Structure 1
């Protein structure tokens, strides 16, 4: 069953939090940084060493470094300097005998010092051979306690605190790391590709973290020259970007030297778009044609990727507010085209000035132009235009202005109206995630100046007291008061079992908070007890939660999402983990059936569940979950697939398609869906329709094939096409009376529903997704349904699902011949895609 074989009744919109960005110069004025260093139980840490670092976004160099000692109350105080538009991040690092802590610098920072842990890391190459005498150090830290990401990517000062080298067996031990943090490691060897998120290690809540193995991949490099076309003089100080096609984790950047030369090392083998860009907010009148789809091979340097800078054509215009007509400053106008191909993630982007004006130089050809204002939630359809060298074209836009940078500050009070010190204040925001602060002695808190979305909400808690619901922050700089009340928190509990229903002790369970704009984010984690039970006390209401469970040797799994309820203990139910002792194999092909080499195949439910197809397009992954699991495939030329396959098989065939092919297929499907006037009900009573079908079945010695569907559901449409196919229908109608019941329609299509259909759906164990079918005898007794391996397979498309469908029909109607089954099987194959 592929990912699109069924439709759930409810959908969750996932959206990644927008990362930090460079602020205009006037928004990076000096600001005061103060706070406290505390132990995990809230006691101040005196005499700790506190370091403040400010780093430069584009160059990775420290702008400022200050060091002090915490006072008797654990306090520290810094003044951050004003800086250029490249100012990106301030980092606080505090260490003492009690532990170590890191955090993003804030005007009122409470840093919890975690006890130290050590981790032994082993570096091996693609063949599993150890890599000796290789340097590595932390590159990035994160801590779920306050959901803030601590970046050290651009700064060598902090990285040097943990520099180590591997021994002859490829092992290196990093000591003095903060417990319970996540750490991303950087291997200082240009022979190997940047590991990206694959190098992240979760540090334990103990003095020793289990060994971690990093699988290195030999890298390629790009080398070239940039010159100005009018004089052929070297173009110094220009950025050269390599963006992986179909691989978001494949990228590299370099700056041309005084001779215009550059080298981009540490690139994963694959295909890259290579283009030029210029320092942010710097006016320039140059552009260059990009090099699309540059092939990078392991341990090889691709040379001659040269650029000639030209003036090209000009795209200019004004951006105005559609309501007031006033100019919109700091709007982002982006262009993809010959200078920045759309096949990768890069684009040329400029900011409008105070008059709302922008100007972009681009090479001759078709250009796709879009406009965006940060935090406004406005969308304007991109436009495609053609320009010639020396030509100027005007393109004006209307869009809401960006949100203003502002701080959020206020006070937390208890039921008696008194300020509450040491209270947690959580900011739920689509742009910044879930950062949190701790109130000071007067109950005050401050979130540093940033852009906050329209649906940002504040929550607070202290002990058993909490806000009853999220509170919208003020639109201006005024203070807000958060009121704590009793019985405002939820408690979640549940059970983790194996596939046989036996409790799984010591399984790791993460609590996941869900919002429409942010998607899911882990906010807490515990381990199950000896009976497989877990509890999460004191969780905020006004949002939904689920849990994700994982254990060594098992595939991870999620519970369903349920809303929190104030003052109640809610049961998450039982989550079953499937043993990961099987395998998955098969072949990756393009839409023409040609094998695809070099495609990355990932099993998301297990760690190290990854393989790359060989020259025949084949792959094999051991340690896969039993029964079924989802695969993600990323192939060259930006082709991709997301499918559910059956484990224990080496004959899975998966077709990868480009975004353009998927979009074109979707357009054809939508057009067909709109044109189909039969893929919905007529409002007839569902119980009457079912009784009529049972009567017909009794008179003809047949069974009833009862299909629940909805007009908006793509897989339902696919199943409908199969059942109505003139080559298929006679075979099915020989043995079955087919009856559709329309449920779950929306808005003006409610009239298509068959009243009572949802009750019948529930009666026969409907799994909260469609299409769902049930095979009944003439008396309404269920003989089978579309639940395969515990899941609704919907429209059968994968080999295992197709066979299950045919077996279900055969069990209900033994007179179904092998020849007829073969006809149905071929029909399912023909209708297995949109």
Structure 2
């Protein structure tokens, strides 16, 4: 999840994954017309230049053809924006020789680089193509996908046969065959996603293709004012053939070979013939239009033939502004990067440049939350974010005043000697404000999706030979990271910060990757298992594919893996045996035992109606956490089953001793939990009848209001209890009198529940919400010498921890059109808005002075040293119920443990709270209460992280055992009978 903005220049560590650090290269922002002249030579096996060879530049946006000169030389103009992703193919047709060169994206060529493409005898692969009925498909086109691009196609003869010519040294990703308007087929040769896959058919020529059963697809493209999009290119993106280990990406084919690629008519209609009927993957189309959003178009497989499907693309909306230098002069040629994100799965990214007058224009896709930022080595400006582009509503006046950049730099090193790491990919995210932070800002969300909407601008670079890197940035919130072995770091720069550079060094304890040998055995004595599939999933955020391998004849396999804790799964070739184990970061080898698997079956009914849920998906698998057991996780080594007409389903291949979760996807991104099972032996498990509860429905504002006001406890008793708690928790007391029927009182509840600033300030108070019209309210007010006037509700009063008033009871300030407050009864009776800024100001003004967590730490450790005790450090918050339970438990048994421990509670409100807790464990600690026992010198001896993550307030037997073990392993004087008394107390709760 994104890291929220920090206090100015405050540096913290987190587990945020810079996902863009994957192998997909990202070039620096440069004008589209900038190119790099790449020179090279075509040579033979004796390194002699070869003349007259066709030379192809391959890759999206770089395609061009030239011929080598007499000395074998050639020259290509590669767009600077594509310099990290292109290949060169040399084809000597007359000599039947070919060569292939592919860029190293970490070390792209420069204008001074000279390439050498060596050609040798072509590799020939015979093929035969049949149509869907099994007849030879003459005039079919057959090709091969290389890592980047593909060689020229060949055409089958009347017998459906042809022979592919390929560069002998190039790896082949897939082979494909197509015939216009008839059909398509492909076969994966190798995929980085699945090293266990073996294309055995390649050793039994000819390679056979059968064109798939096909259908036609017709669609019409309209914009948001229902005008047709004419002469617009539409193309199909991905196809997934059942049984193949990977998709076929049509969009990366050479432009002259691209399939299912057509232009709309003047009525916006396009028709595709020969589209395979495979339904294992969504059919996504893209449309290229300079004036409309770039958003995928999903075609429903169930659409009947000859039905024209209408799709809508929104017109782009101009967003304009002006960029000036510090002296006010226009700044030309300055790159402005726009990023827009919304509930649509496709975000918007575009970089534009200012003209001679310093103005810029971004044609932005509507319906997204945006940020604009200056990306330049010399100049920067505060980010412009938190605004939504609406359909048909241009935005102007988004102006930037430039200021010098801040150099963010550092080194990446490895090991105890801190040796430099060259070519380490470093990533920097500039983070815009989250939609949830923006009061009154909403996005179109018809399917009620629930995920974070937050624009981020990403840039990357590689370290040099000395392990050094640098970025140039301006004011904003940032996250920087590189080696996955080191936590990324967050920082914030304010517009008025007087700094020129920031340094962030990354000292990695180990390399990013290393060797692993995995052996698979079964039985007793263990017998090696050949041809077993081995999968490894990392318990960390890493930017590489998980392992998928296959054991050799001796039952083992060697590979390179990311050096992180890894969950390993192995399955026999016939799928009757499987096993799971976990290995640590540096383990060079492992032996995994597999055995017979279990199965399970059950029936699902609707909890409300009691009716069986037919044709319902059941999603199941084992959790693999991407960190500790409180971190996000994926569900692996299971699958999706479909219930029959009676709601029955069955699961196969459950590993004995492993826990599996069963859930039902609801279609809105959420899942309904069914049950969890852990097979104890290889048997068929009857799960019985499982009830699917209705989807969670968040309470309405009215329901939350009612709950907040509903209580049978007398007001005087509530007030006295609030005073006691305020004294215990170092809070003040806040009385808020409301009229539940009043619109403006309703606004108080909206602020209390939904306003981020108000919500974050309320933990400083014991809040008493009081229905001004309720029974007993008038008497309570008289006891406090307050006069409640219903015409001025809502009203509030702040009191200190002793219950004494800090100011007189007063109405909450209204927000009026003129921006002025009025307490006139007539106006309050119709008002609907409170002044949120004034509410936040008052909450900040009357809050108790926060303690300094660092001073508490120093005081506790000083006392511990003087008395030969340890320190029990607890992270807590006023809103945390389990924290209060733990505190009450410790208070109850203080006489038992106090002889050995000094107890300090670090409230998240205190100054320096994060700094103090990060001394014990950096980053996310798995929720609160989190606690540790530390010796008087500050060394952590034990903490609340159990086998399944942070135990919090212990309620389960293993959690209670963990807490008592913490005390037992660190005690001096604490007796066994004290521990047993504490256990008894916990078991009763």
**Shorter chain as normaliser: what TM range?**
0.5 to 0.7
Task: Answer yes or no: is the 8 Å Cα contact 2:520–2:551 preserved in 1.
Answer: no
Aligned ranges for residues 332-371 of structure 1 at < 5 Å? 332=426, 334=428, 336=430, 344-346=455-457, 349-363=460-474, 370-371=479-480
Alpha-carbon distance in structure 2 between the residues aligned to 1:559 and 1:538: 19
* 2:877 counterpart (671, 680, 703): 671
- Answer with 553-562 or 458-467: which moved more: 553-562
* 1:537 counterpart (652, 662, 684): 652
- Answer with 252-261 or 425-434: which moved more: 252-261
The corresponding residue for 1:137 is 235
Alpha-carbon distance in structure 2 between the residues aligned to 1:714 and 1:483: 36
| Structure 1 position 397 matched with structure 2 position 505 | yes
* 1:185 counterpart (270, 274, 285): 285
Task: Answer yes or no: is the 8 Å Cα contact 1:491–1:570 preserved in 2.
Answer: yes
Query: CA deviation digits over 1:44-93, x for unaligned, max 9?
Result: x99994521545xxxxxx5x657689999x999767879xxxxxxx9646
Alpha-carbon distance in structure 1 between the residues aligned to 2:16 and 2:307: 32
| Structure 1 position 469 matched with structure 2 position 567 | no
Unpaired stretches in structure 2, ≥5 consecutive residues: 1-13, 26-83, 85-103, 109-116, 130-135, 202-208, 438-453, 627-631, 706-748, 767-875, 894-925, 930-952, 966-978
Alpha-carbon distance in structure 1 between the residues aligned to 2:690 and 2:700: 29
Alpha-carbon distance in structure 2 between the residues aligned to 1:573 and 1:75: 56
The number of residues matched between the two structures is 601
Change beyond 3 A, Cα 1:748–1:401: closer
Alpha-carbon distance in structure 1 between the residues aligned to 2:579 and 2:496: 60
| Structure 1 position 21 matched with structure 2 position 23 | yes
The corresponding residue for 1:811 is none
Query: CA deviation digits over 1:599-652, x for unaligned, max 9?
Result: xxxxxxxxxxxxxxxxxxxxxxxxxxxxxxxxxxxxxxxxxxxxxxxxxxxxx9
Task: Answer yes or no: is the 8 Å Cα contact 1:333–1:352 preserved in 2.
Answer: no
Task: Answer yes or no: is the 8 Å Cα contact 2:339–2:349 preserved in 1.
Answer: yes
Aligned ranges for residues 81-230 of structure 1 at < 5 Å? 92=174, 94-95=176-177, 99-100=185-186, 105-106=191-192, 110=198, 118=215, 136-140=234-238, 157=255, 160-163=258-261, 175-176=275-276, 178-189=278-289, 192-195=292-295, 199=297, 216-222=313-319
Task: Answer yes or no: is the 8 Å Cα contact 2:426–2:481 preserved in 1.
Answer: yes
- Answer with 547-556 or 184-193: which moved more: 547-556
SS at match of 2:286: strand
Alpha-carbon distance in structure 1 between the residues aligned to 2:217 and 2:510: 46
Alpha-carbon distance in structure 1 between the residues aligned to 2:306 and 2:568: 36
Alpha-carbon distance in structure 2 between the residues aligned to 1:285 and 1:447: 48
| Structure 1 position 251 matched with structure 2 position 348 | yes
Task: Answer yes or no: is the 8 Å Cα contact 1:91–1:103 preserved in 2.
Answer: yes
Task: Answer yes or no: is the 8 Å Cα contact 1:52–1:105 preserved in 2.
Answer: no
* 1:51 counterpart (113, 136, 144): 144
The corresponding residue for 2:385 is 292
Task: Answer yes or no: is the 8 Å Cα contact 1:219–1:267 preserved in 2.
Answer: yes
The corresponding residue for 1:5 is none
* 1:326 counterpart (396, 416, 419): 419
Task: Answer yes or no: is the 8 Å Cα contact 1:311–1:361 preserved in 2.
Answer: no
TM-score w.r.t. the length of structure 1 is 0.53
Task: Answer yes or no: is the 8 Å Cα contact 1:504–1:531 preserved in 2.
Answer: yes
Aligned ranges for residues 427-576 of structure 1 at < 5 Å? 427-429=536-538, 430=540, 431=542, 437=548, 439=550, 451=562, 453-455=564-566, 457-470=568-581, 472=583, 485-487=594-596, 489-499=597-607, 500-517=609-626, 519-521=633-635, 523-540=638-655, 544-549=659-664, 557-563=672-678, 567-571=682-686, 574-576=689-691
Alpha-carbon distance in structure 2 between the residues aligned to 1:360 and 1:535: 54
* 1:272 counterpart (370, 384, 389): 370
The corresponding residue for 1:375 is 484
Change beyond 3 A, Cα 1:345–1:339: closer
Change beyond 3 A, Cα 1:187–1:446: farther
Alpha-carbon distance in structure 2 between the residues aligned to 1:406 and 1:546: 32
Q: CA deviation at 1:418?
A: 7.2
Alpha-carbon distance in structure 2 between the residues aligned to 1:178 and 1:514: 30
Q: CA deviation at 1:274?
A: 1.2
TM-score w.r.t. the length of structure 2 is 0.46
- Answer with 500-509 or 429-438: which moved more: 429-438
Task: Answer yes or no: is the 8 Å Cα contact 2:16–2:488 preserved in 1.
Answer: no
Q: CA deviation at 1:463?
A: 1.0
Alpha-carbon distance in structure 1 between the residues aligned to 2:305 and 2:355: 48
The corresponding residue for 1:625 is none
Q: CA deviation at 1:528?
A: 1.8
Change beyond 3 A, Cα 1:414–1:240: same
Alpha-carbon distance in structure 1 between the residues aligned to 2:605 and 2:595: 34
Q: CA deviation at 1:462?
A: 1.2
Alpha-carbon distance in structure 1 between the residues aligned to 2:107 and 2:429: 27
Change beyond 3 A, Cα 1:18–1:459: farther
The corresponding residue for 2:337 is 240
Alpha-carbon distance in structure 2 between the residues aligned to 1:346 and 1:547: 37
Alpha-carbon distance in structure 2 between the residues aligned to 1:288 and 1:33: 55
Alpha-carbon distance in structure 2 between the residues aligned to 1:524 and 1:34: 39
Q: CA deviation at 1:574?
A: 4.0
Alpha-carbon distance in structure 1 between the residues aligned to 2:306 and 2:672: 24
Q: CA deviation at 1:219?
A: 4.3
Task: Answer yes or no: is the 8 Å Cα contact 1:559–1:575 preserved in 2.
Answer: yes
Q: CA deviation at 1:540?
A: 4.9
Q: CA deviation at 1:375?
A: 2.5
The corresponding residue for 2:9 is none
Task: Answer yes or no: is the 8 Å Cα contact 1:371–1:397 preserved in 2.
Answer: no
Task: Answer yes or no: is the 8 Å Cα contact 2:218–2:306 preserved in 1.
Answer: no
Alpha-carbon distance in structure 2 between the residues aligned to 1:180 and 1:752: 58
Q: CA deviation at 1:676?
A: 5.0
Change beyond 3 A, Cα 1:545–1:171: farther
Alpha-carbon distance in structure 2 between the residues aligned to 1:450 and 1:35: 33
* Structure exhibiting the larger radius of gyration computed from Cα positions: 2
Q: CA deviation at 1:347?
A: 5.1
Change beyond 3 A, Cα 1:347–1:511: same
The corresponding residue for 1:42 is none
Aligned ranges for residues 780-799 of structure 1 at < 5 Å? none
Alpha-carbon distance in structure 2 between the residues aligned to 1:17 and 1:368: 14
Alpha-carbon distance in structure 2 between the residues aligned to 1:568 and 1:211: 51
| Structure 1 position 312 matched with structure 2 position 405 | yes
What RMSD, in angstroms, separates the aligned Cα atoms of the two structures? Answer: 6.5
Alpha-carbon distance in structure 2 between the residues aligned to 1:36 and 1:548: 47
Query: CA deviation digits over 1:281-320, x for unaligned, max 9?
Result: xxx5554554334542213554676768765343444444
Q: CA deviation at 1:253?
A: 1.9
The corresponding residue for 1:709 is none
Which protein, 1 or 2, shows the higher relative CO under an 8 Å CA cutoff with sep ≥ 6? 1
Query: CA deviation digits over 1:428-485, x for unaligned, max 9?
Result: 2353687575749968998997746332535333114444224649969x8x787774
Task: Answer yes or no: is the 8 Å Cα contact 1:244–1:250 preserved in 2.
Answer: yes
Q: CA deviation at 1:267?
A: 1.4
Task: Answer yes or no: is the 8 Å Cα contact 1:541–1:564 preserved in 2.
Answer: yes
Alpha-carbon distance in structure 2 between the residues aligned to 1:253 and 1:169: 26
Alpha-carbon distance in structure 1 between the residues aligned to 2:306 and 2:551: 33
